[in-house]
């Protein structure tokens, strides 16, 4: 008896990437389903790194919370502190001096530089360019030194305070910072040339992980991920917080829409941040006090609620802070750019090879410690239920 019909049954293999994996520097689980080498589905599971930062803020005073929010992320700790402090200043009705605002912007732009250099270095490590990884990280150390000169801390700055900043700069420090920026600028241009000319880099990055503008707006993607797909958004320009209304700068936008565009855009933003930093050092307002007297800061907080935004290295970072007139905030809610950019981009891996998955993920510059959150729901029987983030994403609640 002959076979009249052959039924082909596809074999789909589940490949777990994470939560502990050499390609991931923080705990995240990607369940990759592949038919052969082609990815057909990706499930993104989080929740391995939740620390309860928001609830911790509500149990401590506004002033202690400055240090707590600065530890949401080790890479972009200054922008977290700035966003929270500006909310507190709005509640208190305090306006920092222009010198303090300029120094805040300087610190945040130095943070943007070393953050973008870090993710570009990590991506080179993922595709096997270990030497290029080490060269970028070596040059990044100069920016870390610049951050230390400005803030006193190489990584965790604890620089922003209510009413200003904790340390001022003198002419000697300004000269040191200028020399560092002048030395780093040609190195950045050198790395950009490598990305543009190296055939292996282009083969691994070009036309990989393409995000259409419609998908950017549909899934609310932000920061360099959005700007690399032609979406012209930047909180620095729209909100003009701190001294961004006085400092000239360009918003970098590219239209290639792939991994290569996202990484090249970050290199271009590094050059723009260097220009911003140089402008600040040359036009720093004088005859103003940048460091307020901490003993004179208010200890009583009026009721009120504030929503503040900042353009973090990864995109729009938002803080909602509510005061009920006590020393502790009644509510602190944080939404980080990685919350959107990582959870909502599972579709972008489909159709690519398994080897492309860590490359696409790295192009989103994931910060898992930033994005881990929990929601508490009061049920009818007066008990509390903690809902995992992956259930929220799937719409199960």
Q: How far is CA 192 from CA 70, 187, 263, 269, in A?
A: 31, 9, 9, 11
Query: What confidence tier does 392 reach under pLDDT thresholds 50, 70, 90?
Result: very low
Residue 187 DSSP class? H
Residues 6+ apart with CB under 8 A from 366: 24, 26, 28, 338, 341, 342
Q: Are 160 and 303 in contact (CB under 8 A)?
A: no
pTM of structure: 0.89
- Dihedrals φ, ψ of 50, to 5°? -75, 135
For the stretch 68-121, pLDDT in tens is 999 898 888 999 999 999 999 999 999 999 999 999 999 999 999 999 999 999
For the stretch 156-166, pLDDT in tens is 888 999 999 99
What is the average pLDDT value for the chain, to the nearest integer?
89
Catalogue all structural domains in the chain, each as residue range(s) with its CATH number: 53-338 (1.10.645.10)
Q: How far apart are CA 83 and CA 75, in angstroms?
A: 15
Indicate the pairing of strand 38-45 with strand 160-161: unpaired
Look at residues 322, 385, 318 and name the one whose alpha carbon lies nearest to residue 58. 322
* Residue 74 CB neighbour total at 10 angstroms: 12
Q: Are 100 and 164 in contact (CB under 8 A)?
A: yes
pLDDT score, position 161: 95
Q: How far apart are CA 143 and CA 341, in angstroms?
A: 26
pLDDT score, position 172: 96
Cis? peptide before 19, omega within 30° of 0: yes
pLDDT score, position 395: 47
């Amino acid at each position: 008896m002959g076979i009249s019909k052959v039924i082909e049954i596809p074999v789909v293999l589940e490949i777990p990437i994470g939560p502990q994996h050499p390609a991931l520097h923080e705990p995240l689980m990607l369940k990759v389903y592949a038919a052969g080498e082609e990815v057909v589905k990706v499930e993104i599971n989080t929740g391995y790194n939740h620390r309860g930062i928001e609830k911790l803020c509500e149990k401590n005073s506004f002033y202690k919370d400055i240090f707590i929010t600065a530890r949401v992320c080790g890479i972009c700790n200054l922008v977290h502190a700035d966003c929270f402090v500006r909310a507190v200043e709005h509640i208190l009705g305090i306006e920092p001096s222009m010198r303090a605002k300029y120094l805040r912007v300087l610190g945040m732009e130095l943070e943007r530089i070393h953050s973008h250099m870090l993710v570009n270095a990590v991506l080179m490590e993922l595709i096997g360019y270990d030497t290029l990884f080490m060269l970028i990280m070596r040059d990044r150390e100069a920016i870390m030194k610049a951050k230390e000169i400005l803030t006193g801390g190489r990584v965790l700055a604890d620089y922003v305070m209510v009413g200003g900043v904790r340390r001022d700069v003198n002419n000697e420090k300004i000269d040191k910072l200028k020399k560092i920026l002048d030395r780093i600028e040609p190195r950045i241009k050198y790395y950009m040339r490598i990305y543009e000319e190296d055939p292996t880099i282009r083969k691994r990055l070009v036309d990989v992980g393409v995000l259409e503008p419609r998908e950017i707006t549909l899934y609310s993607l932000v920061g360099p991920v959005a700007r690399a797909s032609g979406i012209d958004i930047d909180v620095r320009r729209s909100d003009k917080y701190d001294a961004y209304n006085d400092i000239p700068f360009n918003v970098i936008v590219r239209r290639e829409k792939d991994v290569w565009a996202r990484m090249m855009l970050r290199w271009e933003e590094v050059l723009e941040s260097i220009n911003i930093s140089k402008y600040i050092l040359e036009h720093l307002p004088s005859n103003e006090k940048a460091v307020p007297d901490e003993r004179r800061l208010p200890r009583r907080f009026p009721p009120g609620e504030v929503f503040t935004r900042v353009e973090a290295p990864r995109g729009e970072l938002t803080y909602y802070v509510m005061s009920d007139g006590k020393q502790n905030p009644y509510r602190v809610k944080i939404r980080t750019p990685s919350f959107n950019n990582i959870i909502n981009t599972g579709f972008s891996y489909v159709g690519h090879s398994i080897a492309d998955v860590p490359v696409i993920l790295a192009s989103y510059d994931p910060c898992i410690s930033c994005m881990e959150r929990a929601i508490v729901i009061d049920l009818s029987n007066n008990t509390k239920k903690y809902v995992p983030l992956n259930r929220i994403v799937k719409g199960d609640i």
